[in-house]
Amino acid sequence: MKLNLKVWRQKNNDSKGSFETHTVNASEHMSFLEMMDVLNERLISEKKDPVAFEHDCREGICGACSMVINGRPHGPQQGTTTCQLHMRKFKDGDTIVVEPFRAKAFPILKDLVVDRSAFDRIIQSGGYISVNTGQATDGNSVPIEKDLALKAFDAAQCIGCGACAAACPNGSAMLFTSAKVSHLGLLPQGEVEHTKRVQSMVAQMDEEGFGFCSNIGACEVECPKEISTENIARMNRDYFKASLVSE
Amino acid sequence: MSLTGLFLILFLVVHLIGNLQLLSNDEGKAFNIYTDFMSHNPVIQLIAKGNYFFILLHAIMGILLAVKNKNAKGSKYAVSPNNKTSWASNNMALLGTLIFAFLLMHMGHFWFQFKWGSGLPMVNYDGVEMINAYAKVTTVMSQPIWMVAYLIGLLVLAFHLWHGFASAFQSLGLRHKKYTPIIEGLGKAYSILVPLGFAILPLYIFFTQS
Ligand code: HEM
Ligand code: SF4
Ligand code: FES
């Protein structure tokens, strides 16, 4: 299949970027990233600068493959990362526009690569349990309500990719932060530090310059792990509670 | 945002119920007595002051929030995503600003006139002299441009509340498997019925007076 790619090229965060148009011959069995590899192979053989993009696992679990495809982070397929998106989702002759994640707190490093270390700093501000909780215990030795276990597991699926902040018209990181807060806070090991964690992670999120949530819901639509905005409500609730009870 | 918004939502219900007295077939007697009571009762006056304050607070916070969020986004995508988010949710600040402009017009028509206007129509019921608010309302609403302006204002309000009602609950962390769908349903019903209720008034007056 023949595709017209409009790819965003930008030297660094200070320079002004623009689109570059390429035609690529791809097979419909390729993943989106493999199609990008085909483009880069050609650019390299032509002694041109290949398009910088991030990738690692290529199996939908690391969250590296940040790309906005036709206006949608991780492309048009629901609940799918860019690396798991296949070219059969497109038609021969399609024009595909590829842009980097856009949010002030994610400065562009080069082309499609953005600096998502703001998320790392949110995690460092409280996304952990301070003590060693030891080896995995025997099943059922720590009683956890089934419903809570399921909710915590749903939240734990967040791969920290940043698509939520990229999709949000406010550049807000609430879906990510609330997924992490929920994942830890719903389980007994993480519950102990929950109050402090909510406050410090929200404070760090604001410090990084992410916008405020106005419940548009674009994050939930674009999240490759289909994290629910239910987590945002939980974090709002717990943040209010934390403001009341903390010294 | 959410608390002030919810207060305004409550206010609108009371305001609508009061105004529906315009429809009663008594040349405005019920409405006039009601407005006279509202403008002289100290408790109501205190609530009214609170209401002005909350509207301003809500509007100022809304604009600051929108500016901050626009900055946090930085640049926009070349292709606009066609995902399933509502138009209203993406345009709350625009809708809010239009509502604010509408409120200025509305206050100019009535509140300002009643407070500082001269040559107000008066009426006397059983020896009590009061402003004939009903006459004032009917003069404004029987002019086509104001009638249409009110309808547009109410349409804008409907869109603002289409998103705002349920959004306020989510912002407060009030989310529940069973109750959230009910709140969302209530929000949609409110955002249609309340502006529609208000819209009946200019329409009714316009078509019965002219
Ligand atoms: C005076 C002009 C107004 C302006 C400038 C304005 C502005 C805004 C803005 C920008 C938002 C988005 C905030 C967010 O989503 O977090 C908002 C939300 C909201 N507005 Fe307004 N608004 C105005 C009037 C009203 C009125 C008259 C009502 C109710 C009758 C109302 C009810 C709401 C509600 C319930 C929300 C949702 C709150 C939330 O999401 O937490 N607004 N408004
Ligand atoms: S919540 Fe979803 S979109 Fe946001 S970082 Fe986690 S996996 Fe990515
Ligand atoms: S490359 Fe790891 S999730 Fe896409």
Q: Please tell me if the CB atom of residue A103 comes closer than 6 angstroms to any atom of ligand 2.
A: no
Show the domain range for B142. Answer: 2-209
Q: Please tell me if the CB atom of residue A218 comes closer than 6 angstroms to any atom of ligand 2.
A: no
- Report d(CA A62, CA A100) in Å as an integer: 17
Q: Are A236 and B171 in contact (CB under 8 A)?
A: yes
Percent of the residues in chain A that have a pLDDT greater than 70, as a whole number: 100
Q: Please tell me if the CB atom of residue A74 comes closer than 6 angstroms to any atom of ligand 3.
A: no
**Which ligand 2 atom is the nearest neighbour of the CA of A219?**
3
> Tell me, what's the ipTM?
0.90
Beta strands in chain B (DSSP E): 122-125, 128-131
CB contact under 8 A, A233 and B170: yes
Note the helical H segments in A27-157: 32-45, 117-124, 146-156
- Report d(CA B120, CA B139) in Å as an integer: 12
Beta strands in A46-137 (DSSP E): 68-69, 72-73, 95-99, 108-110, 113-114
- Report d(CA B173, CA B161) in Å as an integer: 18
pLDDT value of residue B114: 86
- What is the per-residue pLDDT across B176-199, written as a single tens digit (0 to 9) for each? 999 999 999 999 999 999 999 999
Domains of chain A: 2-109 (3.10.20.30), 117-246 (1.10.1060.10)
Ligand nearest to the CA of A230: 2
Give me B195's structure tokens. Answer: 């502006």
Q: Does residue A147 register a pLDDT over 90?
A: yes
Residue A212 is nearest to which of B65, B77, B90, comparing CB atoms? B65
Report strand pairing: A108-110 vs A113-114.
Answer: antiparallel
Q: Please tell me if the CB atom of residue A96 comes closer than 6 angstroms to any atom of ligand 3.
A: no
At residue B118 the predicted structure's pLDDT band, cuts being 50, 70 and 90, is confident
Q: Does residue B107 register a pLDDT over 90?
A: yes
- What is the per-residue pLDDT across A75-118, written as a single tens digit (0 to 9) for each? 999 999 999 999 999 999 999 999 999 999 999 999 999 999 99
This prediction has a pTM of: 0.92
Question: Which protein residue has the closest C-alpha to ligand 1 atom 22?
Answer: B96
Rounded distance from Cα A120 to ligand 3 centre (Å): 17
**Alpha carbon of B46 to those of B12, B40, B53: distances in Å?**
16, 11, 11
Q: Does residue A247 register a pLDDT over 90?
A: no
Least CA distance to A8: which residue of chain B? B78
**Alpha carbon of B181 to those of B90, B176, B195: distances in Å?**
21, 8, 22
What is the residue-averaged pLDDT of chain A? 95
Higher pLDDT among residues B118 and A156, named by residue: A156
Mean pLDDT of A59-66: 96
Total of domains in chain B: 1
CATH number of the domain residue B69 falls in: 1.20.1300
pLDDT value of residue B119: 82
- What is the per-residue pLDDT across B140-174, written as a single tens digit (0 to 9) for each? 999 999 999 999 999 999 999 999 999 999 999 99
- Report d(CA B26, CA B20) in Å as an integer: 13
Amino acid at A72: R
Q: Does residue B210 register a pLDDT over 70?
A: no
